[in-house]
């Protein structure tokens, strides 16, 4: 395990704004005794619940979902609420060069389908996820990044246009407006999916950590402290919170990375106008250890930062102080806005820089859907639907980019992660006010 056990303790809920501002889902009871299913799903997040809905609604399958905590405890209930393009760290040109233009075009269609999938889920299941303004802003953290952005083209905003458009900061050199995606309340979304799944006939067991998967005649048996589940097929959709012993093939093929979020008190109209940030638009910057932020519907400000190597209280507090200082540098007019909520969680990277949606090699009937690279709201939702189709025979349903099993990381991951973060900080330098 790369991090301390407290980061994986299902009894420790994050002190998040999301959970404080949304009616909780009634607790799903733990498994008691034995159960049978056509498909057992490990993980009640976006991927697992979308897969469950697809299997029940379109194929009439008997589905049991097993969650170590409760739906919404993991990344699906604690992320920044960015329903946007993403899911891989590979740029379109890199995908085309490595895998071909057809694969790049197929992935682009998948990204668009993924955003549409979330919108369809919200409408179909009547989920009030407090949607915010459509679109996303990519901000250049340096003059070099701005020059590169200008060479690449797109809908560009120089500093004067950023001010005119109501997205001004003291730091960024320009930005690109991406006219797709939207912000949402991630905990409302995942708990809404859980309610829809239960209404469709999916059985969800919370507080039911799977400790062992064992092949048996006709499928698999999953061992939980309070019972067993037999299923013809099993989907593991646990992303950054995966137990790498389930299955052992997964060991060293994923890299969970910490991400941290703070949310302020509601900003006054005077504060928003003084800063020049008045839009409820998703935004992120070009740094490797990126910042991501948006004004929420109630005018609180959400600010996220990647980084950190420990769930221990002292390092977590130290990183929170650093993130707060960067927030105040970027948005000096918001310095008086107190932090009312702060929490952290894990995103999941792979050595291939792409998700994996496919079978576990050498384990008939055992499937994986994970590795959303910090953009799982949309990608995991559609990825769950695609893996469900693959489970029922449409083996080409996942996009080709996601069908190749990721290799193992060659180096010890924790030292490599520490070195990578140090190198990124050295190469990019500290954030500085724009001249």
Task: Indicate if 203 and 236 belong to the same structural domain.
Answer: yes
Task: Indicate if 296 and 340 belong to the same structural domain.
Answer: yes
Task: Indicate if 9 and 156 belong to the same structural domain.
Answer: no
Q: Are 199 and 311 in contact (CB under 8 A)?
A: no
pLDDT digits (tens, 9 = 90+) for 163-198: 999 999 999 999 999 999 999 999 999 999 999 999
Task: Indicate if 342 and 363 belong to the same structural domain.
Answer: no
Give whole-number Cα distances, 166 to 123, 132, 227, 281, in Å. Answer: 29, 15, 55, 10
Tokens of 390: 């693959």
Question: Could you please report the per-residue DSSP string of 337-403?
Answer: S-EEEEEEEEEEEETTSS-EEEEPTT-TTEEEEE--TT-HHHHHHHHHHHHHHHHTT-TT-S-GGGS
Q: Is residue 216 part of a domain?
A: yes
Taking residue 164's Cβ as centre, other Cβ atoms within 10 Å add up to 12
Q: Is residue 98 part of a domain?
A: no
Entry pTM = 0.96
Task: Indicate if 389 and 269 belong to the same structural domain.
Answer: no
Q: Is 172 left (phi over 0), alpha (psi -120 to 50) or beta?
A: beta
Residue 329 pLDDT? 97
Given a cut of 70, the residues of the chain with pLDDT beneath it are none
Q: Is residue 123 part of a domain?
A: no
Q: Is residue 122 part of a domain?
A: no
Residue 361 pLDDT? 96
pLDDT digits (tens, 9 = 90+) for 275-300: 999 999 999 999 989 999 999 999 99
Rg, the chain, Cα only: 21
Task: Indicate if 287 and 364 belong to the same structural domain.
Answer: no
Residue 423 pLDDT? 86
- Domain containing residue 403: CATH number: 3.50.50.60
Residue 389 pLDDT? 98
Task: Indicate if 355 and 249 belong to the same structural domain.
Answer: yes
Q: Is residue 433 part of a domain?
A: no
Residue 421 pLDDT? 87
Residue 151 pLDDT? 95
Q: What per-residue string of b and e applies to 287-317 under the rule 16 or more CB within 10 Å gives b?
A: bebbbbbbbbeebbbbbbbbbbebbeeeebe
Task: Indicate if 264 and 173 belong to the same structural domain.
Answer: yes
DSSP letter assigned to residue 154: S
Q: Is residue 125 part of a domain?
A: no
Residue 310's domain spans which residues?
131-184+256-350+417-428
Task: Indicate if 272 and 301 belong to the same structural domain.
Answer: yes
**Distance between CA atoms of residues 230 and 69, nearest Å:** 20
Residue 353 pLDDT? 96
Task: Indicate if 346 and 270 belong to the same structural domain.
Answer: yes
Task: Indicate if 274 and 333 belong to the same structural domain.
Answer: yes
Q: Is residue 90 part of a domain?
A: no
Q: Are 41 and 66 in contact (CB under 8 A)?
A: yes
Residue 238 pLDDT? 98
Q: What per-residue string of b and e applies to 212-249 under the rule 16 or more CB within 10 Å gives b?
A: ebeeeeebbbbebeebbbbbbbbbbbbbbbbbbebbeb
Q: Are 174 and 146 in contact (CB under 8 A)?
A: yes
Task: Indicate if 268 and 330 belong to the same structural domain.
Answer: yes
β-sheet bridge partners, residue 303: 262, 293
Q: Is residue 114 part of a domain?
A: no
Residue 338 pLDDT? 98
β-sheet bridge partners, residue 157: 175
Residue 32 pLDDT? 97
- Domain containing residue 346: CATH number: 3.30.9.10
How many domains, in total, are found in the chain? 2
């Amino acid at each position: 395990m790369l991090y301390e056990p407290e980061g994986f303790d299902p009894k420790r809920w994050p002190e998040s704004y999301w959970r404080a501002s949304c009616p909780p889902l009634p607790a799903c009871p733990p498994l008691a005794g034995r159960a049978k299913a056509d498909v057992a799903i490990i993980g009640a997040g976006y991927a697992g619940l979308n897969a469950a809905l697809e299997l029940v609604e379109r194929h009439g399958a008997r589905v049991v979902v097993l969650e170590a905590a409760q739906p919404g405890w993991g990344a699906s209930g604690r992320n920044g609420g960015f329903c946007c393009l993403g899911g891989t760290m590979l740029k379109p040109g890199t995908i085309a060069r490595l895998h071909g233009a057809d694969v790049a075009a197929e992935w682009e269609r998948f990204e668009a389908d993924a955003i549409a999938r979330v919108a369809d889920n919200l409408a179909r299941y009547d989920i009030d996820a407090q949607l915010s303004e459509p679109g996303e802003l990519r901000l250049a953290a340096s003059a070099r990044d701005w020059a590169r952005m200008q060479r690449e083209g797109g809908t560009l905003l120089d500093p004067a246009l950023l001010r005119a458009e109501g997205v001004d900061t003291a730091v960024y050199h320009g930005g690109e407006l991406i006219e797709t995606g939207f912000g949402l309340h991630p905990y409302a979304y995942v708990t809404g999916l859980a309610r829809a799944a239960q209404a469709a006939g999916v059985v969800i067991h919370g507080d039911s950590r799977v400790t062992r998967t064992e092949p048996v005649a006709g499928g698999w048996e999953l061992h939980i402290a309070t019972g067993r589940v037999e299923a013809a097929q099993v989907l593991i959709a646990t992303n950054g919170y995966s137990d790498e012993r389930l299955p052992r093939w997964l060991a060293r093929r994923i890299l969970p990375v910490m991400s941290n979020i703070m949310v302020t008190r509601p900003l006054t109209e005077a504060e928003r106008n003084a800063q020049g940030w008045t839009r409820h638009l998703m935004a992120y910057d070009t740094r490797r250890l990126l910042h991501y932020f948006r004004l929420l519907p109630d005018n609180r400000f959400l600010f996220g930062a990647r980084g950190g190597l420990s769930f221990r209280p002292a390092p977590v507090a130290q990183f929170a102080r650093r993130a707060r200082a960067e927030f105040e540098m970027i948005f000096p007019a918001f310095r008086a806005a107190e932090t009312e909520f702060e929490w952290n969680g894990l995103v999941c990277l792979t050595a291939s820089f792409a998700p994996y949606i496919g079978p576990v090699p050498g384990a008939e009937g055992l499937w994986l859907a994970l590795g959303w690279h910090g953009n799982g709201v949309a990608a995991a939702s559609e990825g769950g639907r695609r893996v469900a189709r693959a489970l029922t025979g449409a083996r080409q349903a996942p996009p080709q980019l996601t069908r190749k099993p990721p290799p193992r990381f060659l180096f010890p991951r924790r030292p490599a992660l520490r070195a990578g973060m140090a190198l990124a900080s050295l190469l990019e330098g500290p954030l500085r006010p724009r001249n």
